[in-house]
């Protein structure tokens, strides 16, 4: 596990690296899609499920509220590793343990979607 930022200034009691929050159970990797609310991040990942009737796989998506420790402070578009831990709040029972990298494809898609929704500037032919 790599230590990301300053190790001494971590005031987060629910930090698995500096305050020994115990982790157990399942591990996942996903993309942060929302990190506005303080120490909470919403993480999304995709998985394949086999459909016997069609003899094919379908893609299913899972979104999860996770605890985002101060020292990691993952941002939107980061690829993170998360581990199951004790319930931290009503909807949080996973904690981000590591920032792996950036999901450039996700960020680029978001940007294109925002552009597509914005009103298009009028072309010369329309203004005539």
Binding mask 8-37 for Zn ion (x = CB under 5 A): --x----x-xx-------------------
CB 62 within 8 A of CB 44: yes
The residue (of 30 and 69) whose beta carbon lies closer to Zn ion is: 69
Instruction: Identify the burial level of 70 via C-beta atoms within 10 angstroms of its C-beta, where 0-12 means exposed, 13-18 middle and 19 or more buried.
Output: middle
CB of 16 vs Zn ion, minimal distance in Å: 8
- Report residue 48 as tokens: 């394949």
3-class DSSP state for residue 86? coil
Of the pair 43, 71, the CB lying nearest Zn ion is at 71
Choosing from 32, 35, 71, 96, the residue that interacts with Zn ion (CB under 5 A) is 71
How many residues bind Zn ion, per CB under 5 A? 6
Which residue number, 20 or 52, has a Cβ lying nearer to Zn ion? Answer: 20
Min separation Cβ 76 and Zn ion, Å: 20
Whole-number minimum distance, CB 94 to Zn ion, in Å?
A: 16
The candidate with the shortest Cα–Cα distance to 102, out of 76, 68, 83, is 76
Least Å distance between CB 127 and Zn ion? 56
Q: Which two tokens stand for residue 85?
A: 């831990």
User: What are the Cα distances from residue 31, in Å, to 78, 82, 117?
Assistant: 6, 10, 23
List residues near Zn ion by CB under 5 A.
10, 15, 17-18, 69, 71
């Amino acid at each position: 596990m790599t230590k990301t930022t300053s190790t001494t200034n971590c005031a987060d009691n629910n930090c698995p690296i500096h305050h020994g929050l115990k982790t157990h159970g399942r591990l996942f990797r996903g993309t942060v899609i929302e990190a506005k609310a303080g120490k909470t991040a919403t993480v999304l990942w995709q998985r394949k499920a086999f459909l016997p009737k069609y003899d094919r796989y379908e893609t299913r998506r899972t979104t999860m509220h996770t605890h985002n420790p101060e020292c990691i402070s993952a941002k939107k578009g980061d690829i993170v590793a998360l581990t199951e831990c004790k319930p931290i709040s009503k909807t949080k029972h996973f904690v981000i343990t590591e920032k792996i990298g950036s999901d450039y494809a996700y960020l680029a898609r978001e940007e294109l979607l925002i552009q597509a929704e914005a009103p298009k500037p009028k072309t010369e032919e329309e203004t005539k």
